[in-house]
Structure 1
Amino acid sequence: MKKLLSLLMLLLVLVGCEDEDRRDLVAEPEAEETVDSIPTLVGDFIFVADAGVLRGKDFVYGVKIDSMAQVLTEEVKPFKTEEFDMVKVKVKAKIEPNRRQEGWKEVVEIREILDILEDKKTPENQEIEE
């Protein structure tokens, strides 16, 4: 009986001891924060004829004309009253050196349109339903 009781006590001690290696395996891994390599830019946007410009407090970039620039141009049209009005926008854009020798030193390639920051005016040609 003493042997059985001793064996039972030994078994309880072994099971009751916490194994650090096992605890590390069971613990949930910490979530890693990924840093977004594409900067978010807030500035005034204008697109006229075949050139686009994004101007912020401390930068002025030419805008690479691609499908995203065309989409942004269409989205800001309702907020413009004149052809040369600039509209404040928030975009994610990749900044690249300008390979062409004319214009700005750097151009931006718009990757994502986050928001149009102008007051949400109702376009003049849009009817308001009551």
Structure 2
Amino acid sequence: MKAKLLDIAVCDPNHLQAYFPDDLTEFCASIEMSIGPVDGCGGDYFRATACSPSWFHNNILLPKKQHETHEQIVRAEFGRHFLFFATYDEDEIKRFVSDFIDKQSGSDWPELSGRLARYFQWEFEDYVVLKA
């Protein structure tokens, strides 16, 4: 089974509206996607964060001081659901995501969507069906 990208938007992570950074080398954008099986109808909701390494460092690894008397400490952080790009190019982000999805396969949708969820935040991640 293969997956297809049904819809994708690269938008402002805080307002989910059109996004274009002031600095093409220091940016953070939200990627909102609908992905479904090639032979099916409809899809599931996935998302990820596209950012530059410098934005990740300056905002995640080295967060802003809460108060001027506090230390600014570099911390460790997992990078799950983050895609790193040296410069902002919306078309390149969309092309990269689409090409990645095209290369994925699985025996059925649960396996395939679970594989995609390793890279993108999936709306049904950790969803458990309760049996009566």
- TM-score in terms of structure 1 length: 0.26
Structure with the higher fraction of residues in helix conformation = 1
* Structure having greater relative contact order (Cα 8 Å, sep ≥ 6): 2
Q: Rg larger in 1 or in 2?
A: 1
- TM-score in terms of structure 2 length: 0.25
Structure with the higher fraction of residues in strand conformation = 1
